[in-house]
Structure 1
């Protein structure tokens, strides 16, 4: 049964949407180059609003390790998602602190990360461009699938690659903001696959 991560949440209303549909994880972006980026203070307000049962994942590119640790220790994020070059030292340091780590990988380097989980994504994450699911080799370890997932294509993607989880951001947006109707349809699509 694939787990569901709704990523790129940045408004309080986005958290209200998540609380209603109950995904397995939500993601907040700390990468400054992303238009979805939030500050530590914003993330804290989002965490306070979020159902305590739903872990919040912090998404990072070049953020210093000490800053990531601070956000975890403050209880703002419960897991870490790393993008960019695979850096086993960062992964090992986070894991030593008992922090679950997800590493974004492309189909080419999916075997190289020592993270707890890998996230199979595009070279340009957050772009909304779908991966060619039928043309890629399925990683030999549990993985989350990202890369252009939408309410319309997620069922096919799950059937082809059988991921442990799915991660969506742009696919549940309209004009760059989260769209509750799209979120509902996405959740229903994944759960229907689970039930069949």
Structure 2
């Protein structure tokens, strides 16, 4: 299973994501996010992680990520627009005429609030990365019920709005061992 941790802001967090076995990291350049990372700092983090783990620059629109996108492996946005290496995030089914590398289902639109998954998600779960309100307490039920291609965690591994290294370790250990 593909597991991404999003909202990273430090090299130490990247090192721990790699050490713990995450498949990818996300760095947010959406200015209104509490996980916002200045594009200059985001580029530094992308260069630091390059070749060691898959990297996603994350924003609401292509405009949010434009300064840093070329330095990341993938561009994760909520805007339905064709960009290179697109990782589309949406609470709607993916458009059939859009080329994307990954599709993230996120009903919370980045707010981290968990919602039940609509039937269409269940029908294509093997192609989807689920996000939005996941945490150590609900992840096994989600994995068992939907059997998704992947999962994306952010607020579920934070204390007081900051990534917590121990919570990152605990989450991936639980997620990798769900049966």
Residue 110 of structure 2 is matched in structure 1 by 126
Deviation of residue 126 (structure 1)? 2.8
Task: Report the counterpart of residue 165 of structure 1 in structure 2.
Answer: 150
> 2:18 and 2:31 mapped to 1: Cα distance?
26
Asked if the contact 1:4–1:166 (Cα under 8 Å) also holds between the matched residues in 2, the reply is: yes
Q: Is contact 1:6–1:23 with CA below 8 Å preserved after alignment?
A: yes
Once the two structures are superposed, residues 80-127 of structure 1 have per-residue CA deviations (whole angstroms, 9 ceiling, x without a partner) of 11114x2xxx32x42xxxx2x111111xx21426223211112x3232
Partners of 1:150 and 1:5 in 2: how far apart? 13
1:11-69 Cα offsets, whole Å, 9 max, x none, are 2332232132131110011111111111222112222333622011011223439x63x
In the alignment, what sits opposite 1:55?
A: 54
1:175 aligned to 2:160?
yes
Query: What does residue 95 of structure 2 align with?
Result: 112
* Structure 1 position 130, deviation (Å): 0.8
- 2:75 is matched with which residue: 76, 80, 97? 80
Q: Are 2:55 and 1:71 equivalent residues in the alignment?
A: no
1:146 equivalent in structure 2: 131
Aligned to 2:111, what secondary structure does the other structure show? coil
Q: Give the Cα–Cα distance (whole angstroms) in 1 for the partners of residues 43 and 60 of structure 2.
A: 19
- Which ranges in structure 1 are unaligned for 5 or more consecutive residues? none
Rg larger for: 1
161, 176, 179: which one aligns with 1:191: 176
SS of alignment partner, residue 44 of structure 1: helix
The 2-side partners of 1:143 and 1:19 are apart by 22
- TM-score w.r.t. structure 2 length? 0.87
Give 5+ residue unaligned stretches, structure 2: none
| Aligned counterparts of 2:135 and 2:157: Cα–Cα separation in 1 | 7
- Give the structure-1-normalised TM-score: 0.80
Structure 1 moving runs of 4+ over 6 Å: none
